């Protein structure tokens, strides 16, 4: 039996929007949230696509996330915004905040926003990429549920805290870095678990904090908070740079959680009625330094240097950040491949809410 099925994007879009509106999410917000989820699926990042719907629906139904996202600007200057998302939907908070950031950047050259009291906002790259249409650099960081260990720790007190930056180009695809600061996200462990394959020992630890290849045990420990978790980029030893991944993860949490006055570290999701996720969003207009045109031309040149540099033995291609995802999104313009398990979950949601699930 096939593990996944090709489904029309339009069909998934209508279903997902209908699910959200049925739960009381305003139509505009339902469209925003759905678009962020489907962008992830189209880019091949299925862990952050409609697979998340079940969790979001659960949060709204259990009053852990409010369907009506009301952003409050708590403080602002010409180049900054402090926003409370009032425990609304992370995608709506991310999208609307990034639009405000872009507006201020067009006027004043750059802008940074911190957002507190939010929820999971999907792929960080969605928001950094919003800046590209105006030829701006976009930046998007978020803290997240504690799943990652500090170097030498066995207690997950940091999130996978991703870093995304998007830079416009002239003829090349934009440069879009979008990376968790752990070696791999939890979703990757789940893939190996389904295949019955041991994981490399730099990905996660057992409940005592010892690097392990036993993926089923790691996932069980994480689910039941028995100890252990994901290792930072660089694995478990300083020799391999574990302290760097750990430092980057902490940096993301400082800019998102600490700087917004919201939740950080193990405080996130510790209040069962409000996750408290925080984001850091920014944009920079190249015009305040050189010109947009010069910047984009130089980006093409930089990308050319990287791509055309000599390949290692046995390799025939050097990739640019975002390249694989752009290719995937292009292939999956109309149809995306969704795991059958996720489709089953969505059908159940549809049945429960009385929303037709024609897939």
Question: Taking CB under 8 A as the criterion, which residues in 135-154 touch a second copy?
Answer: 137, 149-154
Among 62, 294, 330, 334, binds a second copy (CB under 8 A): 294
Q: Does 192 bind a second copy (CB under 8 A)?
A: no
* Measured distance CA(356)–CA(258) in Å, rounded: 43
Closer CB to a second copy, residue 145 or residue 177? 177
Cα angle 8, 326, 161; round to 5: 100
5, β-bridge pairs: 338
* Measured distance CA(25)–CA(31) in Å, rounded: 10
Q: Does 122 bind a second copy (CB under 8 A)?
A: no
Those residues whose C-beta lies under 8 Å from the C-beta of residue 340, and which sit 6 or more positions away, are 1, 2, 3, 4, 5
Question: Taking CB under 8 A as the criterion, which residues in 3-62 touch a second copy?
Answer: none
Among 298, 335, 337, 339, binds a second copy (CB under 8 A): 298
Least distance from a second copy to the Cβ atom of residue 22, Å? 36
Site map for a second copy, 319-358, x if CB under 8 A? xxx-------------------------------------
| Other CB atoms within 10 Å distance of the CB of residue 168 | 21
Q: Does 310 bind a second copy (CB under 8 A)?
A: yes
* Measured distance CA(48)–CA(185) in Å, rounded: 11
Q: Does 157 bind a second copy (CB under 8 A)?
A: yes
Cβ(16)–Cβ(38) under 8 Å? yes
Q: Does 107 bind a second copy (CB under 8 A)?
A: no
Question: Taking CB under 8 A as the criterion, which residues in 170-189 touch a second copy?
Answer: 175, 177, 179, 183-184
Closest CA to 253 of 146, 177, 154: 146
Least distance from a second copy to the Cβ atom of residue 156, Å? 8
Question: Taking CB under 8 A as the criterion, which residues in 207-226 touch a second copy?
Answer: 208-210
Least distance from a second copy to the Cβ atom of residue 217, Å? 15
Closest CA to 157 of 265, 269, 278, 268: 265
Question: Taking CB under 8 A as the criterion, which residues in 237-276 touch a second copy?
Answer: 239-241, 243-248, 250-251, 253-254, 257-261, 264-267
Taking each helix axis as running N to C, give the angle between helix 90-108 and helix 27-42, from 0 to 180 degrees, rounded to the nearest 10. 90
Among 1, 196, 224, 317, binds a second copy (CB under 8 A): 317
């Amino acid at each position: 039996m096939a593990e996944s099925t090709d489904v029309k994007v339009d069909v998934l879009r209508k279903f997902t929007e209908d699910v959200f509106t049925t739960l009381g999410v305003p139509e505009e917000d339902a469209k925003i949230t759905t678009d962020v989820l489907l962008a992830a699926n189209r880019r091949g990042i299925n862990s952050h696509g409609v697979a998340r719907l079940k969790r979001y629906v659960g949060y709204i139904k259990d009053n852990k996330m409010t369907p009506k996202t009301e952003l409050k600007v708590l403080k602002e200057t010409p180049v900054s915004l402090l926003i409370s998302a009032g425990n609304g939907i992370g995608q709506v908070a991310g999208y609307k905040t990034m639009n405000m950031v872009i507006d201020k950047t067009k006027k004043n050259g750059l802008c940074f926003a911190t957002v507190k009291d939010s929820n999971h906002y999907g792929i960080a790259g969605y928001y950094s990429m919003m800046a590209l249409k105006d030829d701006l650099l976009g930046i998007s960081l978020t803290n997240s549920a504690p799943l990652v260990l500090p170097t030498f720790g066995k207690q997950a007190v940091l999130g996978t805290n991703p870093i995304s930056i998007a830079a416009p180009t002239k003829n090349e695809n934009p440069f879009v870095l979008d990376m968790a600061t752990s070696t791999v996200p939890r979703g990757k462990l789940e893939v190996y678990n389904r295949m019955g394959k041991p994981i490399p020992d730099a990905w996660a630890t057992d409940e005592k904090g010892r690097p392990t290849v036993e993926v089923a045990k790691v996932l069980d420990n994480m689910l039941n908070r028995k100890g252990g978790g994901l290792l930072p980029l660089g694995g478990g030893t300083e020799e391999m740079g574990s302290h760097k991944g750990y430092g980057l993860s902490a940096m993301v949490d400082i800019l998102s959680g600490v700087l917004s006055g919201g939740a950080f570290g193990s405080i996130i999701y510790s209040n069962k009625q409000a996750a408290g996720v925080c984001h850091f969003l920014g944009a920079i207009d190249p015009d305040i330094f050189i010109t947009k045109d010069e910047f984009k031309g130089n980006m093409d040149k930089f990308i050319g240097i990287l791509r055309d540099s000599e390949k290692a033995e046995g390799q025939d291609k050097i990739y640019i950040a975002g390249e694989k995802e752009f290719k995937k999104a292009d292939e999956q313009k109309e149809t995306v491949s969704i795991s059958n398990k996720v489709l089953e979950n969505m059908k159940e949601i549809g049945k429960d809410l009385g929303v037709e699930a024609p897939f």
